Amino acid sequence: MGPDVETTDRRRLIARLAGDYHVNTARRSARFISRDIVTALTILAINRANVRELLASREVIADPHEGIAGVPTDDRRRPVSVYAVAKDLGLPYETVRRRARQLVAAGVCAEVDGGLIIPAKVLTDPAHDGIIAETWAATTGFVQEAGRLGVAAGPPGAAGPDVLRQTLRLTTDFFLESTCHSARILDLDVLTVLALRAVNKANIAHITHDPELAQAHAGLEEAVPDAERRPVSVYAIGKFLLLPYETTRRAVKRLEDRGLVERGPDGLTTPTEVLARPEVIRAMIDMAALTEAFLADLAAIGVGYRPDAG
């Protein structure tokens, strides 16, 4: 990170930007993959497990599958069990098993020795191009906005031939790892964490993307006051996340029961006092650290903040 990040507390700002980015990632994944977030999460988790070793090595995958850069061949994918996917996501085994069976029947997923893989042919289908393009646009936009707010890794390195798919893999890993990590800390399932992030996103969207206001609420001691939070309805949360109303209502009810959101006459808000709870502060600090690591990984593959880019 640059000198400003080292001397100024921007952890709340970083976590706020990342939470906004995550909710948009969840919606984009559901919209492109299946219009069902649980199915989308299952696919993303299987694919992440398949290429986990490549993520660790940051190996450039130049030209291995039908002339398309960045697609590991099936023999390089490491199969994963339904149990491991369910454990990774913190979802019931039976929920993931049903989704996996549907995915195998649809040809999106394949059963091989050792478990499940997402075949390379699925990832090279032209239908996959949309999520690659939108993820690239959203991620480069995220990097630029973070940089303008003083959160940037070092100068970007040289981009390889598979930079688009490397970016997609890094984004998936960041999204799943930080969402599942927050779920463990807050003792929630991943869907409820996404609902909580969607509520908070709506409450403070006018601050997240306003440079002056964002800086005014950048540190851990500078939470956005309740009076400045804009309530949001259950219907709006479900519509944004592409979740059925009843599924959204149940997730919100779990949040209300835990005191993580409050329902007022105008809708739902995350109260400021919640943001001071030790477990929420822990989740926020860890989110900031994971985000800084994500920005550094992106810079290493050539996706870094470019001040002259506007």
pLDDT given at position 241: 92
pLDDT attached to residue 136: 95
Least Cα distance to 117 among 107, 125, 109 occurs for 109
- The reported pLDDT for the residue numbered 133 is 93
**For residue 139, what pLDDT is reported?**
96
pLDDT in tens, 203-225: 999 998 888 888 888 888 888 88
Q: Which residue has the higher pLDDT, 267 or 307?
A: 267
CA-CA distances (angstroms) from residue 150 to 101, 185, 218, 301? 45, 28, 10, 20
Mean pLDDT confidence for 263-286: 93
Q: What is the mean pLDDT of the chain?
A: 88
CA distance 43 to 146: 28
pLDDT, one tens digit per residue, over 53-97 is 876 766 655 444 445 667 788 888 999 999 999 998 888 999 999
Rounded to an integer, what distance in angstroms lies between the CA atom of residue 218 and that of residue 207? Answer: 10
**What percent of the chain has pLDDT above 70?**
92
pLDDT grade for 6, boundaries at 50, 70 and 90: very low
Please compute Rg for the chain using Cα positions: 19
d(CA 58, CA 173): 12
- Residue with token string 């779920």: 183
> Which structure tokens are listed for 250?
């149940």
Which pLDDT belongs to residue 54?
Answer: 74
C-alpha to C-alpha distance for 166 and 171, rounded to whole angstroms: 8
pLDDT at position 7, please? 47
Per-residue DSSP letter, 277:
S
Query: Comparing 33 with 11, which gets the higher pLDDT?
Result: 11
Instruction: Name the region of 264 (left: φ>0; alpha: ψ -120 to 50; beta: rest).
Output: beta
Strand intervals (E) in the chain: 110-112, 115-117, 262-264, 267-269
Q: Pick from 194, 205, 201: which is nearest to 251 by CA? A: 194
Please name the residues in contact with 189: beta carbons below 8 A apart, sequence gap of 6 or more: 90, 91, 183
Given CA atoms 96, 97, 101, 107 in this order, what sign does their dihedral have? positive
**Can you give the pLDDT at residue 60?**
56
Phi (first) and psi of residue 268, to 5 degrees:
-100, 140
Per the CB < 8 A criterion, the answer to whether 120 and 71 are in contact is yes
Q: What pLDDT, on the 0 to 100 scale, is given for residue 43?
A: 93
Instruction: Please state whether beta strands 115-117 and 267-269 pair in parallel, antiparallel, or not at all (unpaired).
Output: unpaired
- 288 vs 64, higher pLDDT: 288
**What is the Cα 117 distance to its own chain's centre?**
21
Length of the chain: 310
- Choose between 257 and 150: higher pLDDT: 257
Exposure of 203 by Cβ count < 10 A (0-12 exposed, 13-18 middle, 19+ buried)?
buried
Q: What angle do CA 143, 146, 150 make, to 5 degrees?
A: 130
Return the ∠ at Cα 269 (arms to 192 and 292), rounded to 5°.
Answer: 65
Q: Is the pLDDT of residue 159 over 70?
A: yes
